[in-house]
Amino acid sequence: MAPWGASPSKEGVMKRHSVGVVAIIVKKRAMTAPQVNDVLTQFGDIIVGRMGLPHHLKDLNIITLIVDASTDEIGALTGKLGMIKDVTVKSTLAKV
């Protein structure tokens, strides 16, 4: 069993994990939400928690994620989200 904060890679070498927060701002929800949800589903195994709130006055939706994964995996998630039109993504991570 891997120690907390690490997981064995395909080669059996322990990889360090990061825990962090990913902030996602979604504009034009009707058009972008399906794409955002598809990406979040693809990375569901690294998402520890998710909260989404609408900001009706600005016509925005804000999603926050708590993630636990390698920096490469978190980077892949934020990279895919950042490629979606009308989506802004920022993250902050701490190595554990």
Of residues 64, 41, 38, the one with CA closest to residue 52? 64
Burial class (CB in 10 A: 0-12, 13-18, 19+), 5: middle
Could you read off the pLDDT of 17-27 as tens digits, one per residue? 899 999 999 99
Could you read off the pLDDT of 58-88 as tens digits, one per residue? 989 999 999 999 999 999 999 999 999 999 9
Q: Which domains does the chain have, with CATH numbers?
A: 16-95 (3.30.70.1150)
Query: What is the distance between the alpha carbons of residues 17 and 2, in angstroms, rounded to a whole number?
Result: 11
Could you read off the pLDDT of 29-42 as tens digits, one per residue? 889 999 999 999 99
The CA angle 79-84-86, to the nearest 5 degrees, is 125
